[in-house]
Amino acid sequence: KLKNDRLYIVFCTNATGSHKLPPYYIYEYEHETVKKYLKNEESVIFKKKGDGWENDIISNWYNNVFINLVSDHHQKTETIGKVILLTKLYKEFEDDMQNDNFEILFFPSSAYTILQSL
């Protein structure tokens, strides 16, 4: 049964849309048998329900994917300045994501319902 499984997709782009990061997929499953039906597994992070994956996955994406891809893009385009990531992620991740060249601004949870209609 897949009814309890979840697929989360993280999309990220700069304000102008000129630099789009590849989507980051997180598939949360209840039964491991579902993995045999999924194709293109290398682009998906799999986590079993109840593993407490949020901190590890989001911190890994930010520190190893987001920062690396954005830094590479800045180097190629000779862009300088601080990078600001706007997110609805929970503030509990903030301590794991400290970097001098990058800053995270968190939307308050009440603002998210307003932004959904955009």
In a domain, 1, yes or no: no
In a domain, 34, yes or no: yes
In a domain, 108, yes or no: yes
Q: Is the pLDDT of residue 91 over 90?
A: no
Could you give the number of structural domains in the chain? 1
Q: In this predicted structure, what is the pLDDT of residue 28?
A: 75
Alpha-carbon distance 21 to 90, whole Å? 21
Average pLDDT over residues 56-70: 85
pTM (2 decimals)? 0.71
- DSSP E strand stretches across the chain: 6-10, 24-29, 44-48, 83-87, 102-106
* Residue 109 CA: distances (Å) to CA of 7, 24, 100, 105, 106: 21, 22, 26, 12, 9
Average pLDDT over residues 12-39: 78
Q: Is the pLDDT of residue 43 over 60?
A: no
Two structure tokens written together for 71:
């830094």
Q: Which domain holds residue 35?
A: 6-116
